[in-house]
Amino acid sequence: MQDRRISPIRLYVKYLSIAVLAIVSLGCKSQPAAIANADNNNTLLWEVSGNGLAKPSYVLGTMHILCAQDANLSPQLRQVLDAVAQVYLEVDMDDLGQMFGSLKAMAMRDGTTLSDLLTPEEYQRVEAFFNKKGPLPFKMLERYKPMLLSAMVVEQQLPCEKANGVEMMLMAEATSRKQEIKGLETMEFQAGLFDSIPYSVQAKELLKAIDSMGNEKASIDSLLLAYRQQDLALIEKVSMMDDGAVGGNLELLLYGRNRNWAAQFGPIAQKMPTLFAVGAAHLPGSQGLLDLLRKQGYTLRPLKNETNIKTKSL
């Protein structure tokens, strides 16, 4: 496994999920050449039309942390990017002022550190892990909210040496097209979500993640396979299997945010055609973003999204 040490600001971009440039006018964006429907609705790329929209907008399901070879953009998605005027991610990852201003939000409140939440023996186990595999010196990490550290543990379990995220690929493509990237949420808001889950619960989940390293391969493989197959039903099933801090806080981390994004969709898409790219787990289910948009009266069409990613088990 290669050394994945990165700067604090990059670390924030990668792990606060739980994931640009010139202001553009409406311009003369043309509709993309007809994109075929996806077979069996197995796709992470959806066209949204009707309900007062002059032109369609689009929704894409992403994963924030992937093996680099899986972070691919399909030809169909590139056609969509040619047709839209802007891209909305969960947060505006190109706003450096917002990033630097939110770094303090990574830390637990009231000066709390991991040593306040764990026994000395538990603390030593966590310290040993991050001193060996952490992206930053442990002294910098021990004040971070434990759920952020858990995301780092997950990345260490990816079956590859180089990690990337779809959002970074989208940013590069938007840059080449001189499209603006915006955020549905602020980084400060996302960081604040983790203040609503007791730090002691988060710390226990972090310890569990570290202690189970090597035993979670089946779960990681299932999630990656569901993403590669673009199987929304399977993505929902795997996401619901979490019995820890995430699974116990779905209203906070998933459903409430879905409703907020669905409410923002209309005012944004009515102004200009937009690609909305959010974590794939936000799309499926009766409380997922896709069904919420249908309930608002939009027509959703599943689009082919041929990423050329192998779908066999890892």
Q: Where are the domains of the chain?
A: 8-302
Instruction: Enter the pTM of the model.
Output: 0.85
At a CB cut-off of 8 Å and minimum separation 6, what does 48 contact? 56, 57, 58, 59, 265, 269, 293, 298, 299, 300
pLDDT tens for 48-97 read 999 999 999 999 999 877 777 777 899 999 999 999 999 999 998 877 77
- pLDDT, one tens digit per residue, over 153-165 is 877 777 777 777 7
Beta 180-185 vs 86-91: how paired, if at all?
parallel
What is the band of 36 on the pLDDT scale with cuts at 50, 70, 90? very high
